[in-house]
Amino acid sequence: MDRPGPETGSRSRPRVEALSWHADYRCENTGVCCESGWDIAVEAPTEAALRERLADKSVVSRLPRSPDGFRVLQDPPSGCQSAFRTDGAVCWFRDRRDSRCAIHREFGEEALPSACRHFPRICVLEPERVTVSLSHYCPTAAGLLFRPSTRFAVAPRPAAFDPSWPFEGLDARRSHSPLLRAGVLLGWDGLRSLETGGLDLLARAPTAAQGVDMFAAAIGRCLDWRPGDVPLADWVREAFARGGPSHAVSADLDLSKGVDDLLLASVAQGGPRLDLPSRSGEVRLPDPGAEDLALRRYLASKLFGAWITHQGAGLATLARYLRLCLATLKRVAPDDADDERARWIEAVRLSDLWLV
């Protein structure tokens, strides 16, 4: 049954939630999103407005290149005709002199196409809230995982994400809740229990690897719920709070031979070329400490507001996904880094490039 959800325009502001370490995100203009060679599609009304504004001769003199920064797409997304041109892999409007987007600088954030305004935000629009996570391919977002003091928690009113923002993402406002298992809905309150329980579990896990195992075991206990037991949200909460035996639902994701074939098969045809880094030896996951803490936060970021929770065939899918995320981190981490923090920041960035 359709349920009325929060409008994300100016008439009604949704409740926005984010993870505590993302709550004060602020763009630092690293330029990764502008210099990766991606097709940045421009909505037709945005393109028309920009073409008119870029015709102003007083603006032209301040641009890094000519104002003719659009190219027609052969197979454009709905509502678009063109993308920004690139100079090599660099967006036509990226001004390297001051490390800024010239359009943002000259006309404001509202003049940008949707892709530019939203990256690195990853949003799920639910009936009662909007969750915001971040793509850690963005170096600024990746760095937030490595700050020493941030606790594992959901920030109910994150300063970085104003509720008046026109959020876009996976729109689940008129959908059923995610599945517990085939044929059984988790419920929105069950989803809250899953997220808070998962965060608490990863906070107390001795290491990231043990956290993935503990998460899989907790999901196994969640799957034991049957109608007539305690309310499902309470069952999920208890499943994460207590230890004890359970079947490991992630065991059927066979990563014993590595993740190379799985990752290479996932690359979209016609997309940017991605090459797995060569290996001179096996990279070990970090011992307990600052880097392991950052990896546990990364795993929590893949759990909170995750599209795959809504798209998968139940919570077992999410447990397998966390296992894949950790295996990918290990696979793409540089094997020749002298600085452990730099090694795992790069691993987090590359992992999100492959997975997201």
Q: What is the structure's pLDDT at 150?
A: 74
Q: Answer yes or no: are the C-beta atoms of 55 and 178 closer than 8 Å.
A: no
* CA–CA distance, 286 with 341 (Å, rounded to integer): 10
Q: What is the structure's pLDDT at 184?
A: 94
pLDDT in tens, 158-190: 999 999 888 999 999 999 999 999 999 999 999
Band the pLDDT of 244: cuts 50, 70, 90: low
pLDDT value at 246 more than 60: no
Compute CA 212 distance to the chain's CA centroid, rounded to the nearest angstrom: 18
Q: What is the structure's pLDDT at 355?
A: 83
pLDDT in tens, 81-137: 999 999 988 999 999 888 899 999 999 888 999 999 899 999 999 999 999 999 999
pLDDT value at 257 more than 60: no
pLDDT value at 314 more than 80: yes
Q: What is the structure's pLDDT at 131?
A: 97
Output the pTM of the full model. 0.86
Q: What is the structure's pLDDT at 336?
A: 75
Q: Report the pLDDT averaged over residues 321-335.
A: 90
pLDDT value at 32 more than 50: yes
pLDDT in tens, 191-200: 999 999 999 9
- Backbone phi, then psi, for 170, in 5-degree steps? -75, 115
pLDDT in tens, 1-25: 333 344 444 447 889 999 999 999 9
Secondary structure of residue 266 in the 3-state scheme? helix
pLDDT in tens, 195-225: 999 999 999 999 999 999 999 999 999 999 9
Q: What is the structure's pLDDT at 252?
A: 47
Task: Let me know if 162 is exposed, middle or buried by CB neighbors in 10 A (0-12, 13-18, 19+).
Answer: exposed
Name 230's Cβ contacts closer than 8 Å, sequence gap at least 6: 238
Q: What is the structure's pLDDT at 5?
A: 42
Q: What is the structure's pLDDT at 250?
A: 45
Q: Report the pLDDT averaged over residues 66-92.
A: 91
End-to-end Cα, the chain, rounded Å: 30
How does DSSP classify residue 32? G
